Amino acid sequence: LFPFLVIPTHVTAEDLRRDKPFLYMNISMIACPNAPHQRKIADAVQGYVAEHIIIKGEQSLDLLQGLLLNVTWFTTVSHFPRGAACSDTNPDMLRYETDARHVTRNTAQIDNFVHLLVAQSVSLGLNQIPTYQKNLNYPLTYIRETIHGDTHNPTRTLEERRAYLGCYYMTTMYVLGRF
Q: What's the pLDDT tens digit per position in 141-160?
A: 555 555 555 555 567 899 99
Give the other-Cβ count within 10 Å of 111's Cβ.
Answer: 13
Q: Given pLDDT bands bounded at 50, 70 and 90, which one contains residue 116?
A: very high
Residue 110, amino acid: I
Which pLDDT band, with edges at 50, 70 and 90, does 117 fall under?
very high
Choice between 130 and 125, residue whose per-residue pLDDT is larger: 125
pLDDT of residue 2: 79
83 — pLDDT class (breaks 50, 70, 90): very low
The answer to pTM > 0.85 is no
Across the chain, mean pLDDT equals: 79
Non-local CB neighbours of 124 within 8 Å, separated by 6+ positions? 59, 60, 61, 64, 133, 160
Share of the chain above pLDDT 90, in %: 50
- Residue closest to 170 by CA, chosen among 60, 86, 75: 75
Residue 94 has pLDDT above 50, yes or no: no
Summarize the confidence of residues 162-173 as an average pLDDT.
92
- 136-158 burial: b if 16+ Cβ within 10 Å, else e: eeeeeeeeeeeeeeeeeeeeeee
Per-residue confidence (pLDDT) for residue 75, from 0 to 100? 81
pLDDT value for 63: 97
